[in-house]
């Protein structure tokens, strides 16, 4: 799963469920979250967000981690609507 996360391009996001699907575990979104908790330098964990309806993703992390995720995404040019991200604009299609 971490190998898939490393492929998310700068300025793009992917949902936990999409990462799980690409990794061959279509029902493994919780496992993706667990895998991202393990320290792995250079892993772009901030590009992985939750799904919030058909058109949006959402930063699910709370507190300082959520603030850091928002700041990192904004630094990459991702525009957020509060904690929501338009998937049609910033969603990664899974291609390199």
Is 10 inside any structural domain?
yes
Is 58 inside any structural domain?
yes
Is 86 inside any structural domain?
yes
The Cα–Cα gap between 45 and 49 comes to 9
Q: Which domain does 50 fall in, by range?
A: 2-90
Per-residue pLDDT of 30-56, as tens digits, reads 999 999 988 788 999 999 999 999 999
How many distinct structural domains can be found in the chain? 1
Q: Give the tokens for residue 85.
A: 């991200």
* Closest CA relative to residue 54, chosen from 23, 11, 84, 12: 84
Residue by residue, DSSP assigns 56-84 as EEE----HHHHHHHHHHHHHTT--EETTE
pLDDT band at 89 (very low <50, low <70, confident <90, very high): very high
What per-residue confidence (pLDDT) applies to 95? 87
Q: Give the tokens for residue 6.
A: 């490393």
Residue 16: pLDDT over 90: yes
- Other Cβ atoms within 10 Å of 58 Cβ, number: 17
Is 83 inside any structural domain?
yes
Q: Give the tokens for residue 79.
A: 């525009």
Is 45 inside any structural domain?
yes
Q: Percentage of residues in the chain with pLDDT exceeding 90?
A: 91
- 33-46 burial: b if 16+ Cβ within 10 Å, else e: bebbeeeeeebbbb
Is 96 inside any structural domain?
no
Indicate the average pLDDT of the chain.
95
CATH number at residue 22: 1.10.10.10
- When mean pLDDT is compared across 7-16, 67-76, 87-96, the lowest value belongs to 87-96
Beta partners for residue 14, in sequence order: 48
């Amino acid at each position: 799963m971490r190998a898939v996360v490393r492929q998310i391009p700068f300025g793009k996001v992917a949902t936990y469920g999409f990462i799980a699907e690409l990794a061959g575990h279509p029902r493994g979104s919780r496992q993706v979250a667990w895998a991202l908790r393990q320290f792995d330098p250079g892993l772009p964990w901030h590009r992985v967000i939750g799904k919030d309806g058909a058109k949006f993703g959402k930063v699910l992390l709370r507190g300082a981690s959520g603030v850091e995720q928002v700041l990192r995404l904004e630094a990459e040019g991702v525009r957020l609507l509060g904690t929501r991200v338009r998937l049609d604009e910033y969603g990664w299609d899974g291609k390199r």
